[in-house]
Amino acid sequence: MSRVNPDQARQSGRALDAANVFPPAIAAVSLGIFGHAASTRRIGRNETFNHAGNAVAAGLAGVSAYWFGPTVVFYLLRYRCQMNSRQRD
């Protein structure tokens, strides 16, 4: 029987909190800066960049897996997580 590491549980909770806070926060900032008239277009632009980033990440993972094997995806994930943690320090 495996036990859950409390630090991992806390980090998962933080990730869920961030996923619930950031999209409405970005929408609110866009609304405040651009106003009601331009908010729909601006939120659409934000989502376009969001989806483009997801597509680039998926493409990079797919090409890497094709060339180096499927396990490379986990190394890419580890590398990206390390880069994110270094940016916060």
Whole-number pLDDT of residue 86: 72
Whole-number pLDDT of residue 4: 60
The structural domains of the chain, with segments of one domain joined by +, span 6-88
CA gap 88, 14 in Å, rounded: 14
Q: How confident is the model at residue 2 (pLDDT cuts 50, 70, 90)?
A: low
Whole-number pLDDT of residue 66: 93
CB of 36 closer than 8 Å to CB of 28: no
The single-letter DSSP state of residue 75 is H
CA gap 69, 88 in Å, rounded: 31
Its pTM stands at 0.57
What confidence tens digit (pLDDT) does each residue in 32-77 have?
888 888 888 888 888 899 899 889 989 999 999 999 998 998 888 8
CB of 4 closer than 8 Å to CB of 11: no
